[in-house]
Structure 1
Amino acid sequence: MNEIWRDVKYAVRQLVKAPGFTMTAVLTLALGIGANAAIFTLVHAVLMRHLPVPHPEQLVRVGDEDDCCVNGGFPDKNKYSLFSYDLYVHLRDNTPEFEQLAAMQSGVGDGSVIARKQSSSSPAQPGKGEYVSGNYFAVFGVQPAAGRLLQPSDDLANAAPVVVMGYQTWERDFARDPAVVGSTFELNAHPFTVVGVAPEGFYGDRLDVSVAYYMPMAQEPVLHAASPLLHRKGSNWVYLLGRVKPGVELGPLAAKMSGALRQWLGENVEIYKTEDGKVQLGKTTTVLVPGALGIANTQEHYATGLHLLMGIAGLVLLIACANIANLVLVRGLARRAETSIRMALGASRARLIRQILTESVVLAVLGGVAGLAVAYAGARALLALAFDRGGMMPIDAAPSPVVLGFAFGISLVTGVVFGLAPAWITSHGEPAEALRGSGRSTKEGGSLVQKTLVVVQAALSLVLLVGAGLLTRSLSKLEHQDFGLQTEHRVIVHVSPQQAGYTPEQLPGLYPTMYERLKALPGVERVGMSLYTPMEGNNWGEGVTFAGRPPTGPREDTGASWVRGNPDYFDAIGQKVVKGRGITDQDTETSRGVAVVNEAFVRKFFKNGAEPIGAHFGTDGPPSVGDMEIVGVMKDVKYNNPRRPVRPMYMRPLLQKAASNQNPKGEAGSTYIGALVIQTKGSTDGMEAQVRQTLASINSNLTVLRFETFDEQIAGQFTQDRMIARLTLMFGLLALVLAAIGLYGVTAYTVARRTPEIGIRMALGAARGSVVRMVLRDALLQAGIGLAIGIPVSLICVRYVKSQLFEVSGNDVGTLAAAAGALAVAALVAGLIPARRAASTDPVKALRSE
């Protein structure tokens, strides 16, 4: 240990003596290590961090798919991850292997609850509310920050309405006032007593949901009286998470639960298509997966992108290591006389290697410490890019102990990696040769290694540049594709009349009032009202049946999406009628049922030029019932996933109900609008305040859940793509700069070493141009070899980003050419500077230096 400590002090003294070298190396390493630590901060928080609860390893999730939010019928592949509440009760009561099995709402969105303290004069505020079973907190084994948590007795039909407030809401909105516990709040215009506050640091069962209010599932029919889900057996809307008893094996338990699942479905097969149910019932199953990460929907959403960024950051670190290795090697060769003297005086090669490696590790640790600052700033930037929609994420940009350990470990490995080859080469010089001097010789032990490192840098930087180019082109195509929409001078206002306390019977009086008040605002041209809007990530859909056509088979795809809208809505989003007519003011609640379909609907259901206008269709009823008549065809508009083709859709008037629909409460629930599209004649500045004031004048509970421009809503669909493309481009440019610096360093060192040779050449009549060409030829040769290696490697690596690409081929010639051109230009610039310096060599001075 004493020897190691002496080596460390000696290394520090040597680094202090060379401040230029030390600063360059530390900054280079800080960028490489800091980038990796920043991305690992997100990887650890999103993909590896367990729920902050006791013994998270005992938690088990039933199902492994992201099936949000409300689904009906049999799921894809007959594998259940989403359940109805009654099915949950059946599974809970028939699996004593669980200490507790809890249910929780699958879809928790912004503004899913509107809350206001009953004694307060402040307007109601939107928040995220989650329905949970009474044993929800018992499953996690957590303790309240104040008051008490929900109990099974709170989740009974006749129980008093109570709620648990999220800690973040308690801290942010009420300054942790203990008087909140026991007070009455109006949730969606219904009184609830706050019985407690969730513990600090507990963010629920998912990473991306910062819940404001935890509500017993028994209260769901109270808060959503128009279309309750609680005991609707055909609606799957809850996730299941439990804590198993010690010694229980998941395999046999999964088989038992699958049997209980099939038993319940067999007893309730009337809620499905009978023929289809009998065919598939024997194949229906569910799986059990570890639940330490909770409901891992966010992990699934971000996993591919984070793994890709981690790999890219690793390549940048390799390039940085190659750069530092070149610097250390040049420095070691410059000190070879000192090394030779020490060897001549008896120092062993192992001792010298250890000394040089110690210096490299000390340098790497300094780079790692500086990299923590880069990691902190980088993590904050990543969080802003990844979660820029205002969501509260339980991720701290400050490095955690795990991230600190990662940074320290990667620093040590980095120090060994970039120091090993220079240490070996420098310590294996011949003392006599070094002391004799070899200034006129062009032979140098480190030259081949240096050039090899430059070639590796060039090849890796090309790989990153190609990846960055492909992802940037893909993002551009995503953002600038034809959505079929007009977004200029339009804002989206998300509202919820249902949460404001309106019943379906009150909507015919509410909608005209909202329309007239908002239309009267200065500068407003149109006011569209709809169930949901394009590109907000929502989708309503079900199978359709046509009058006069034979029954469809159980495996025939009859699905179509649908949306409700008022006459202004479709013009407000820029969706034009191409045949027939659109929805008009005459399409009222009591008039005949009509629908306007899109072109994709016509292509799917009216083949061979069949006429869609006048056709009748229904949803759940028999084929002979056609309670919607197609009166028009509209242009295609993308509504949900921007990467997929336009879905077949039909548009319905706001208040019309389909007579054949077997779920009248669901039909009534769909008549609640979820968004307003306001088109203005000019700028939308100041519109938010006017809209909020107008809605509050109608009803103080009619609050704005979210306000954004149409462009902002669409841009929000590309947050992850934008983050990955920008970071990849940044890393690619950083790699290019590092490769250029590496090439410049090797070329400059070669020129300095060959100064006598160049002096002799020029003394013998060599022109300046020939010297420049000689130096550039060597530099461009290294870059060319890097290109030759990098192009096939890039084509191989493209397979790992194919899933992120949109309408861009992995072997895109333009991107490859642009990346190769950028590398060639960088190599030319890096080689030209030392080449011009070499051409300016004074032969007399060069020979005198010998």
Structure 2
Amino acid sequence: MTAFNDLRYALRQLLRRPGFLAAVVLTLALGIGANAAIFSMINGLMLKPLPYPQGERLVAVYNTYPLMGLPNAGVSIPDYLDRRDRAEAFEATAMYTWNGMNLTGQGRPERLLALRATPSLFEVLSVPPAMGRTPGPEHAEPGNDRVAVLSHGLWQQLFGGREDVLGRRLQLNGQSYEVIGVMPAGFVFPNQDVRLWIPFAFTPEQMSDQERGTEYSNMIARLRPGASVEQAQSQVDRIHEINREAAPAEVAEFWTNSGFGGRVVDYRSELIGELRGPLMLLQIAVALVLLIACANVANLMLARVNSRQRELAVRSALGAGRKRIVRQLLVESLLLALCGAIGGLAVAHFGLELLLWAGLGSSNALFEIDLDTTVLLFALAVALLTGLLFGVAPALAAARASTSEVLKEGGRGAGGSRSSQRVRSALVIAQVAVAATLLIGAGLLIRSFLAVQSESPGFTQEGLLTARLSLPDDPYGDPATARNLRRALIERIGALPGVEHVGVTSALPFSGNSSQASYSIEGYEPPPGESQPHGSIRLVDGGFFRAMQISVLEGRVFEESDDPEVPLAVVDELLAQRYFPDGTAIGQRIGLSTEQGQRWFTIIGVVAPVRHGGLDEQPSKETYYLPFGTRAVSSPSLVLRSSLAPSALVDPLRAAIHEIDPNLPLTRIQAMEELIDVSLQTRRAPMLLLVVFAGVALVLSAVGIYGVLAYSVSQRTGELGVRMALGAQIGDVLRLVLRQGGRLVAIGLAIGITLALLLSGLIAAQLHGVSRFDPAVMGLVVVFLGAVALIACLLPAWRASRVDPIEALRQE
């Protein structure tokens, strides 16, 4: 009953001051809401179980070549079989590879992303189908693998959800596949872009040792109960040691020089990737914003408690003990915090939308990011902690007040005790320090982002339109037929109005696709202990270099007149400088291993390096270009250089492709500037959000400085009146108040800079082209925050200078 009375009294007291109530609730809502929004992303990405039974037991397994700068590589079929059969830590394993397939016979041709996976995939994931069955061991035999399992969405799209879908036939890449199952709604693997699953059947040749090094697939495994990632890693390492001992000398030497082995990692960690760092950084940032909010509210509460000293003294005189007074004030604080949490959930809802809009978060539908029960409990816990943080100091200040002194003075001046003033000053210093820390972090990220944006990708991005073609094995499996198709495409697209150059490539920069391979250099032997050359490989035509406007530094690039039977190559400057530092690369030969043996390509040109993955990457791995058609490419990319806006070419491009072959799907039509912009999202989002949080912290700090000085002026009205009556000038009073505010700001800035230096390591991984100790950023923050603080100090100072000595003395 006593608690209920305290709650009712607290509510009545708060409603008597609606302005105070609104200011506190709004301040807390911003702090709690920002924390809840960031935590909802951390919860969805890192804490919620994966949508697979006991998903914490799933691991990804890679081949790795650390000494060649390749930490994660695909897995060859022999390596997969070794791990499947000999690693006891794995309960089940599966191998899969992406497979784009053209769907025909269902109206307009459509490109579907399929996953070619061993039938054991669904055992690893432990998810049964909603209808029918998944592939069994019998479908792992070549010739018996023409079956498909549909996603729930594709089932709805193609068959309208009809239950007689089982046994129906689909034409995929010109071949007939039987539908044997449909997965449940919401099932995703590896991401929502995969629309169907087909068996991966190994041929005897693929399972032989000659296929080691053919690494175009991925591996996933389920650990046995009680097994750890470390145990699995140890067993995989042991398998590779045994294989190395049994391998031919030249193979064993290559494995040793490249550091070849296997890498076992938690599957969730691989899915999250580089998001972990920015999310943790932002969670720290919003926690600091909440601390500023608490400091601001604590100052407001102190002022309010001081204004209620007479009331509290009367209650104490009538028998209320200090514990009762403290409890009453803490109940008011917790009630305010609870109201702030309710408002914070609304802020969190819009904040979460802002986070997703800014591109911070995974696009993989595996992760469910929302304001669920866990987030609500987190917001409640933060609210309770917040209520205690900003409520303790005012409650203790009220408890320490002398009842007799307050009643004797009638409440006048009771709030001006030195202890209360010191507490308020300390809170302002803390606000300034935290704001300075956040502003320095935001400034560093801004400078870093601008530095990244100013980097050249190695080509001219403006005026480029890109698109991906999907070539089925039939009828374009023959090299000559594919070559004729490319020429027809170049001729037809090149005739479109506004098109200046057209090119084709096997892997487009900033698309997320890449290919790397080892090669040989004629007459070059790697020094002992070093691996053979390894670089990025691109299959392109001459139009690619012209459309991209990649600088030709020496020699020439491919021409249509080149004899397709004469193997030619173009290399980038990194390769030329690394292996031909004292001469020219032109005329030298590089070799690639093929089924027919070593094939040698004569270098005819050297071009500038191209950033392929991101503007922030420092090109360190060489690239060599071979003529398009040297190898089969199932999904080539087109690049169009145009004087028109790229968007104006989309419909004409589709029409041109349709004229050549109505069954050729055209996908991923994007301007190159869009691709580069998407690649910057993981840098842009943390920067923008930290700028927003730093701005909120700055405003709250300015409000805190103003509030403390304004309250101080109101408490010192009599003193200021006496000073002016004794001859003090307006400038003297201004300097007095500004000196008080300036001292607090200076101390806060010094602490803030020190704190920023200590915490700068948290954002070091996010920086590019700027030191985390950048003096320009710190100097600018000092000037900017000092200017804002000066503005916050001026109004109280001006009010102090306008004090009428007669009125002030009369009040005394």
Question: What is the SS of the residue equivalent to 1:798?
Answer: helix
Over 3 Å counting, the alpha-carbon distance change for 1:800 and 1:388 in structure 2 is closer
Over 3 Å counting, the alpha-carbon distance change for 1:842 and 1:233 in structure 2 is same
Over 3 Å counting, the alpha-carbon distance change for 1:824 and 1:18 in structure 2 is same
Is 2:85 the partner of 1:121? no
- Residues 11-22 of structure 1: matches in 2 within 5 Å? 11-22=10-21
Give the equivalent residue in structure 1 for 2:564. 589
Over 3 Å counting, the alpha-carbon distance change for 1:230 and 1:387 in structure 2 is farther
Is 2:182 the partner of 1:197? yes
**What 5-or-longer segments of structure 2 have no aligned partner?**
none
Of 753, 769, 792, 1:807 maps to 769
Offset, 1:495:
2.0
Question: What is the SS of the residue equivalent to 2:197?
Answer: strand
Of 208, 214, 227, 2:197 maps to 214
Give the equivalent residue in structure 2 for 1:600. 574
Deviations 1:85-126 (A, max 9, x none): 233233323456654333334xx5xxx5245363x21231x3
Over 3 Å counting, the alpha-carbon distance change for 1:247 and 1:394 in structure 2 is closer
Question: What is the SS of the residue equivalent to 2:606?
Answer: strand
- Residues 772-791 of structure 1: matches in 2 within 5 Å? 772-791=734-753
Distance between the aligned counterparts of 2:747 and 2:574, measured in 1? 51
- The answer to whether the Cα contact below 8 Å between 2:119 and 2:134 also exists between their aligned partners in 1 is no
- The answer to whether the Cα contact below 8 Å between 1:537 and 1:641 also exists between their aligned partners in 2 is no
One-letter amino acid of the structure 1 residue matched with residue 490 of structure 2: Y
Over 3 Å counting, the alpha-carbon distance change for 1:690 and 1:454 in structure 2 is same
- Residues 324-403 of structure 1: matches in 2 within 5 Å? 324-386=297-359, 391=363, 393-403=365-375
TM-score for the superposition, normalised by structure 1: 0.88
Is 2:468 the partner of 1:494? yes
RMSD of Structure 2 on Structure 1 (CA):
3.1
One-letter amino acid of the structure 2 residue matched with residue 585 of structure 1: E
- The answer to whether the Cα contact below 8 Å between 1:575 and 1:634 also exists between their aligned partners in 2 is yes
Offset, 1:313:
1.1
Give the equivalent residue in structure 1 for 2:378. 406
- The answer to whether the Cα contact below 8 Å between 2:102 and 2:470 also exists between their aligned partners in 1 is no
Over 3 Å counting, the alpha-carbon distance change for 1:164 and 1:672 in structure 2 is closer
Give the equivalent residue in structure 2 for 1:692. 654
Is 2:36 the partner of 1:61? no
Deviations 1:633-674 (A, max 9, x none): 22233223433332422222212x4xxxxxxxxxx23x5562
Question: Aligned residues, how many?
Answer: 807
Give the equivalent residue in structure 1 for 2:542. 567
Give the equivalent residue in structure 1 for 2:675. 713
- Residues 403-482 of structure 1: matches in 2 within 5 Å? 403-437=375-409, 439=412, 443-482=417-456
One-letter amino acid of the structure 2 residue matched with residue 502 of structure 1: Y
- The answer to whether the Cα contact below 8 Å between 1:62 and 1:81 also exists between their aligned partners in 2 is no
- The answer to whether the Cα contact below 8 Å between 1:518 and 1:524 also exists between their aligned partners in 2 is yes
Of 209, 213, 216, 1:234 maps to 213
Over 3 Å counting, the alpha-carbon distance change for 1:522 and 1:616 in structure 2 is same
**What 5-or-longer segments of structure 1 have no aligned partner?**
658-667
Offset, 1:540:
2.5
Offset, 1:343:
1.4
Offset, 1:421:
1.3
Give the equivalent residue in structure 2 for 1:683. 645
Question: What is the SS of the residue equivalent to 2:179?
Answer: strand
- Residues 152-171 of structure 1: matches in 2 within 5 Å? 152-170=137-155
Distance between the aligned counterparts of 1:381 and 1:617, measured in 2? 50
Distance between the aligned counterparts of 1:633 and 1:244, measured in 2? 48
Is 2:287 the partner of 1:314? yes
- The answer to whether the Cα contact below 8 Å between 2:89 and 2:231 also exists between their aligned partners in 1 is no
Offset, 1:177:
4.7
Offset, 1:511:
0.4
Offset, 1:202:
2.8
Distance between the aligned counterparts of 2:11 and 2:312, measured in 1? 17
Is 2:518 the partner of 1:548? no
Moved more, 308-317 or 141-150: 141-150
Moved more, 558-567 or 418-427: 558-567
Question: What is the SS of the residue equivalent to 2:727?
Answer: coil
Distance between the aligned counterparts of 2:422 and 2:158, measured in 1? 65
One-letter amino acid of the structure 1 residue matched with residue 107 of structure 2: S
Distance between the aligned counterparts of 1:139 and 1:72, measured in 2? 23
Over 3 Å counting, the alpha-carbon distance change for 1:465 and 1:174 in structure 2 is farther
Deviations 1:31-79 (A, max 9, x none): 111111111111111122221233334x24264xxx5xxx787887999
Offset, 1:742:
0.8
One-letter amino acid of the structure 2 residue matched with residue 183 of structure 1: R
Distance between the aligned counterparts of 1:684 and 1:435, measured in 2? 79
Is 2:631 the partner of 1:631? no
Distance between the aligned counterparts of 2:337 and 2:380, measured in 1? 9
- The answer to whether the Cα contact below 8 Å between 1:60 and 1:288 also exists between their aligned partners in 2 is no
Is 2:809 the partner of 1:847? yes
Distance between the aligned counterparts of 1:673 and 1:242, measured in 2? 28
Over 3 Å counting, the alpha-carbon distance change for 1:385 and 1:170 in structure 2 is farther
Over 3 Å counting, the alpha-carbon distance change for 1:702 and 1:838 in structure 2 is same
Question: What is the SS of the residue equivalent to 1:404?
Answer: helix
Offset, 1:488:
1.7
Is 2:251 the partner of 1:273? yes
Distance between the aligned counterparts of 1:784 and 1:79, measured in 2? 48
Question: What is the SS of the residue equivalent to 1:296?
Answer: helix
Of 487, 501, 508, 1:512 maps to 487
One-letter amino acid of the structure 2 residue matched with residue 212 of structure 1: R
Over 3 Å counting, the alpha-carbon distance change for 1:51 and 1:696 in structure 2 is same
Distance between the aligned counterparts of 1:339 and 1:73, measured in 2? 72
Over 3 Å counting, the alpha-carbon distance change for 1:152 and 1:403 in structure 2 is farther
- The answer to whether the Cα contact below 8 Å between 2:722 and 2:809 also exists between their aligned partners in 1 is yes
Over 3 Å counting, the alpha-carbon distance change for 1:561 and 1:214 in structure 2 is same
- The answer to whether the Cα contact below 8 Å between 2:32 and 2:340 also exists between their aligned partners in 1 is yes
- The answer to whether the Cα contact below 8 Å between 2:459 and 2:551 also exists between their aligned partners in 1 is no
- The answer to whether the Cα contact below 8 Å between 1:386 and 1:720 also exists between their aligned partners in 2 is yes
Deviations 1:303-326 (A, max 9, x none): 111111111111111111111111
Moved more, 757-766 or 790-799: 757-766
Over 3 Å counting, the alpha-carbon distance change for 1:169 and 1:729 in structure 2 is farther
Deviations 1:225-245 (A, max 9, x none): 9x9999933223444444445
